[in-house]
């Protein structure tokens, strides 16, 4: 059993802390927001992640995890300190290390035992570990020996606990053999392949992996737009491509682009890091451009279909950037809503869990509901933005029964075309032919 301190109780920090406690370690999580700490102490999760709250309560009751707002309390007895604070995007598209710097100073001021391992799990530019080492050295009054390591996280929101226990790999980077061996022992109980490397390579792996996934998504989305022009079906194209083991099917689902806290930020960060190093990456630059265009694809389709969206009642189905999370960062729904507001459309948005986060972005510009049926009632058109299970399993008759006009724009290709054809729906999806089902009357 190791004594572990987690700096930050955001997505990566809370999930990592709870899962490390689950396998028997003693974990203390520190966060400057005292209100958040008090909520967590009561066993309430501050993020939406399936299964997390139950695991949190279990480990609190067992005494394996605790929470504090005091950095000195968290770090003074720790054998391993894991930094998980945010690295938001700057105006220049780089990763902001302000919080990393702040935590490093607090660690330097607080550690009292030698050979503490300080691990960076936050997404950072290559070379950040050296900066952390210097920040700690400058502020540590006792000048203790410590070890620096990089351990990027690869947690997918909505399946983060599964990824902790069943991920593809664990990356550990350090110039210290002691740190590499200790962290290898820490993670062995998960039974996941462990790769050991240097710190700079470990730091780069995270942004490189996410940028490659972004590239794959943008590629299939560019193809989907071409499919629409020639009357092809992107799902068949993607299936034919993905059956090649060198390519694979994952991240070949056409849609309205990628969002969230990782892919957009990490891709843009790698573009800017490469530019700064004198090795510009035009391929990734274009991937970002494709994604920006794709985010408004549904708006363009609706504008073409209706000519004028002023006064139209639009149901936006889904606000989170993906299902099973309440995260709306870089969500296409937020950008779509803002564009529709400019056109003076009337918008009601449905989402089962992320409404409060969406309100922080959109305020009272639109209306909200956690009832799918309420969103569709009287709508002139519906736009599917997040493929929540509740949306994917809806009785397709519901569109014609509740909407003023059953015109559906599906940004996630939730339904099979041959099934939609059996219902009275006008259906427009991504990279596939439009479907005009068994309409009871012609829609204007």
Question: What are the catalytic residues?
Answer: 262
d(CA 257, CA 220): 10
User: At which residue do the structure tokens 């930050």 appear?
Assistant: 8
- Cα dihedral 420, 426, 430, 433 in deg (nearest 10): 80
- Neighbouring residues of 69: CB distance < 8 A, sequence distance ≥ 6: 30, 31, 32, 33, 34, 37
User: At which residue do the structure tokens 């439009």 appear?
Assistant: 434
Q: What tokens were used for 91?
A: 């105006």
Strands in 266-325 per DSSP E: 313-317
CB atoms within 10 A of CB 23: 15
Q: Residue 12 class from Cβ within 10 Å (0-12 exposed, 13-18 middle, 19+ buried)?
A: buried
Q: How many CA atoms lie within 13 A of 170 on its CB side?
A: 20
**Positive or negative, the Cα torsion across 356, 54, 79, 199?**
negative
Give φ, ψ of 53 to 5 degrees: -65, -40
CA 79 to chain centre: 30
Q: What tokens were used for 161?
A: 């606990």
């Amino acid at each position: 059993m190791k004594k572990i301190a987690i700096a930050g109780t955001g997505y990566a920090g809370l999930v990592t802390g709870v899962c490390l406690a689950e396998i028997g370690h003693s974990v203390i999580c520190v966060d400057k927001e005292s209100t958040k700490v008090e909520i967590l102490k009561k066993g309430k999760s501050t993020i939406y992640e399936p299964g997390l709250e139950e695991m949190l309560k279990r480990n609190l009751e067992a005494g394996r995890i605790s929470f504090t707002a005091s950095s000195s309390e968290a770090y003074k007895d720790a054998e391993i300190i894991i930094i998980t604070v945010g690295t938001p995007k700057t105006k220049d598209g780089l990763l902001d290390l302000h919080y990393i710097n702040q935590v490093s100073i607090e660690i330097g001021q607080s550690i009292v035992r030698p050979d503490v391992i300080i691990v960076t799990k936050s997404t950072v530019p290559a070379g950040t570990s050296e900066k952390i080492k210097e920040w700690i050295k400058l502020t540590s009054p006792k000048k203790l020996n410590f070890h620096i390591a990089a351990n990027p996280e690869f947690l997918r929101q909505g399946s983060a606990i599964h990824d902790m226990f069943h991920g593809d790999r664990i990356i550990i980077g350090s110039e210290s053999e002691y740190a590499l061996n200790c962290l290898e022992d820490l993670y062995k109980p998960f039974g996941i392949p462990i790769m050991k490397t240097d710190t700079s390579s470990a730091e780069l792996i995270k942004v490189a992996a996410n940028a490659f996934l972004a590239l794959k998504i943008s590629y299939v989305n560019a193809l989907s737009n071409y499919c629409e022009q020639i009357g092809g079906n992107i799902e068949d194209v993607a299936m034919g491509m993905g059956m090649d083991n060198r390519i694979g099917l994952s991240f070949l689902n056409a849609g309205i682009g990628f969002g969230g806290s990782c892919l957009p930020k990490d891709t843009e960060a790698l573009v800017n890091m490469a530019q700064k190093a004198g090795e510009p990456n035009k391929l990734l630059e274009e991937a970002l451009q494709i994604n920006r265009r794709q985010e408004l694809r549904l708006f363009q389709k609706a504008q073409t279909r209706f000519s004028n969206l002023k006064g139209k009642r639009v149901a936006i189905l889904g606000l989170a950037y993906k299902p099973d999370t309440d995260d709306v960062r870089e969500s296409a729904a937020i950008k779509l809503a803002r564009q529709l507001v400019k056109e003076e459309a009337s918008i009601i948005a449905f989402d089962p869990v992320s409404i409060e986060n969406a309100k922080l972005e959109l305020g009272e510009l639109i209306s909200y509901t956690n009832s799918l049926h309420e969103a569709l009632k009287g709508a002139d058109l519906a736009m599917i933005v997040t493929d929540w299970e509740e949306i994917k399993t809806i009785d397709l008759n519901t569109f014609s029964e509740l909407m003023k006009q059953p015109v559906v724009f599906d940004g996630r290709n939730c339904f099979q075309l041959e099934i939609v054809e059996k219902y009275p729906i006008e259906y427009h999806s991504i990279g596939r032919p439009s479907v005009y089902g068994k309409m009871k009357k012609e829609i204007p």
